[in-house]
Amino acid sequence: MKEANQRKVLVTGGAGFLGSHLCERLLGEGQDVVCVDNFYTGSKKNILHLLGNRFFELLRHDITFPLYVEVDEIYNLACPAAPIHYQNDPVQTTKVNVHGSINMLGLAKRLRATILQASTSEVYGNPSIHPQIESYVGSVNPIGPRACYDEGKRCAETLFFDYHRQHKLRIKVARIFNTYGPRMHPNDGRVVSNFIVQALRGDPITIYGNGNQTRSFCYVDDLIEGLIRLMNSPDDLSGPVNLGNPEEINILELANKIVTLTHSRSEVIFRPLPKDDPKQRRPDITLAKERLGWSPRISLEEGLEKTIAYFDSLLRG
């Protein structure tokens, strides 16, 4: 039975990096959480500590197939996020974004539930404006190797807004920028996890390109706070809303910072830049500040220290 004021919340992709933190946070707030995952990139290890909680339920399910559960809110996070993962089976990546979104939107429509989509800064592609603001429509190559993800997420946004216009569904679309923290996959090729693992192992740190390309990194706890605020925002705010850290750092500086924080002896080596890799990425978070009262609180040093501690124990264990 539900407790007073408790909401039943579905988190798809709940055993992944962001999803597991979101489930943890929702349970901490007293919500009743249904975590759905097919374990494509997620892991039971990420949610083992939640399995004993009587308000946590785990369903092994692929969201490209219809799902029938009763919930009040849906966070749709299911989708591999790292390029090596989403390029491994690009057709499935498009399917999870298109068929998966249709299934979750259909569920939300039947239940009159609010649904939040974990969209991405990748919808901006290789941007011609900097920093990126929500009204920028993006510059995406529709036939490149990243298109299954970028165009998949763009189509998911289209579906969300069409369900909103056509069926008056309450939707929330978050455009998430690079996020890092404990429970990132150690071999996902993403820059923060890559550099930390290489530094801890004393292996050379691989930079693709000359290291002048910039990124901005948001610590996972800040991002989760933003998602929850967006879900709880007034009905007139559908988004899209950028969520990320506007503090910019170039990749070479990041590598050096990680070498210092890990007390590593790793050297930095340079490799050719992969196709369609964006040169610059930084969110304009004015909308999130104004409408959600949200901005990141955790500094890069603090976040890196927590993430390094996680990978250190993972590699030792």
Ligand X SMILES: NC(=O)c1ccc[n+]([C@@H]2O[C@H](COP(=O)([O-])OP(=O)(O)OC[C@H]3O[C@@H](n4cnc5c(N)ncnc54)[C@H](O)[C@@H]3O)[C@@H](O)[C@H]2O)c1
Query: Which positions touch ligand X (CB under 6 A)?
Result: 12-13, 15-19, 36-42, 62-64, 77-81, 85, 96, 100, 118, 120, 176, 178-179
Strand partners, 12: 36, 76
149 is catalytic: yes
159-163 LR contacts (CB < 8 Å, sep 24+): 159/98, 159/101, 159/102, 159/105, 160/101, 160/105, 160/115, 160/117, 160/238, 161/238, 163/105, 163/108, 163/109
Measured from the CB atom, the residue of 2 and 45 that comes closer to ligand X is: 45
Measured from the CB atom, the residue of 44 and 168 that comes closer to ligand X is: 44
Is the dihedral angle over the CA atoms 117, 43, 3, 5 positive or is it negative?
Answer: negative
CB of 98 to ligand X, least distance (A): 11
CB of 5 to ligand X, least distance (A): 27
Measured from the CB atom, the residue of 75 and 163 that comes closer to ligand X is: 75
CB of 199 to ligand X, least distance (A): 20
Q: Could you tell me which of 199, 207, 164 has the C-alpha nearest to residue 304?
A: 199
CB of 277 to ligand X, least distance (A): 15
CB of 302 to ligand X, least distance (A): 18
Quote the tokens at residue 312: 């250190």
Whole-Å CA distances, 264 to 149, 235, 236:
34, 49, 49
Measured from the CB atom, the residue of 187 and 299 that comes closer to ligand X is: 187
Contact 16, 184 (CB under 8 A): no
Is the dihedral angle over the CA atoms 73, 246, 265, 260 positive or is it negative?
Answer: negative
Catalytic choice (40, 149, 163, 180): 149
Measured from the CB atom, the residue of 171 and 264 that comes closer to ligand X is: 171
Contact 97, 89 (CB under 8 A): no
User: Which amino acid would we find at residue 175?
Assistant: R
- What is the set of active-site residues? 149
